[in-house]
Amino acid sequence: MMGKVSVLAVCIASLLCLPLLAQDALDLDGALALIQNDHVAVSFDDAGKALLEDMIAALLAGIGVTDELNQENEDRVMEFEVAIEDKEIVNYLSQAYYTLANVFIDDGDEAESVYLKGKHWGLKSLRMDPAFAAAESADGFTDAAGIAEDYKALYWGASNWLRVAQRHPMQALIAGVPPKTQVMSERALELAPEYILGGSYRALGAYYSGLPVGRDLDKTLFYFCHIVTEDECANCADCGSIEKIANADDYFENRTFIAEFYYMEKNMWAEAKLVLDSVLAEEVGDLYPLMNAYAQENARELLATVEKNL
């Protein structure tokens, strides 16, 4: 796999990482040490995938999950008892599953299985909040999501859910998945717009670009305007005066998203090439080693399509 980054480098010379390199299997503390700058810090290669899988196993063991639990079954996951003090571990589990499927798994069926698990742990975390559980029971999931307080559970739950929905768009529409995930992303944006360097702006921009019904590229542009510079956004003047996410350019996916979900959808090939070239011209760096290396790999693939249309 391209874009190898040293495990030592991604640990940013932290002493916390030394035990991880010296043992065969991660314990819970070792797994938690792999969350750095809100991201999973593993390398973009087969060793990184294996380490991420070990991280997931350690997180599961940390909350007492065994192989007997069917994580693809929402009811079984909701019934599983987790101590409230372990809620953050559940969030990291949802994040780790999403990262594994998104970055490392090409097979659609296998990826869907992983996203399902991530979705269920995200929903589990939301429902561990008594206020959310009471609101859902009284008013339904969408209303409860609108008052939820855990932006990580909202963000990763919605991210996994949307990836499952992409595989079954008509079923997702019938089940009301789009409005549910939209509210989740909007609430996460309200609570923590800076999380994952504007992650909810990316999520909502891609959401409006990919809707099978109700697609709105003007809204896509509006959300992306918050996470790219004026030089990279040919039409950002259409968004008016907006607040930008600080240091958004440090996270390459902000630029690959506007290329893929806006410029390419609008057949603005020259603009897409400019943005993708800017991603490929930079060093991956130490802040977001996995996701920036992955974004560069994605940029290369997108650029091949763009150049065919120039």
Structure confidence by residue, pLDDT tens digits, 110-127: 999 999 999 999 999 999
Neighbours of 300 (CB within 10 A): 14
Tokens of 170: 């008509």
pTM of the predicted structure, to 2 decimals? 0.90
Distance CA 226, CA 303 (A): 23
CB neighbour list of residue 301: distance below 8 Å, 6 or more residues apart: none
For helices 108-127 and 151-167, what crossing angle results, to 10°?
150
Q: List Cα–Cα distances, 218 to 170, 207, 213, 223, 261, in angstroms.
A: 23, 12, 15, 9, 11
Structure confidence by residue, pLDDT tens digits, 122-151: 999 999 999 999 999 999 999 999 999 999
* Residues 116/157/104/168 CA torsion (nearest 10 deg): 50
| Residue 267 identity (one-letter amino acid) | N
- Indicate the domain borders of the chain: 193-310
- DSSP summary character for residue 84: G
Distance CA 42, CA 22 (A): 16
Structure confidence by residue, pLDDT tens digits, 159-209: 999 999 999 998 999 999 999 999 999 999 999 999 999 999 999 999 999
40 or 6, greater pLDDT:
40
Strand partners, 47: none
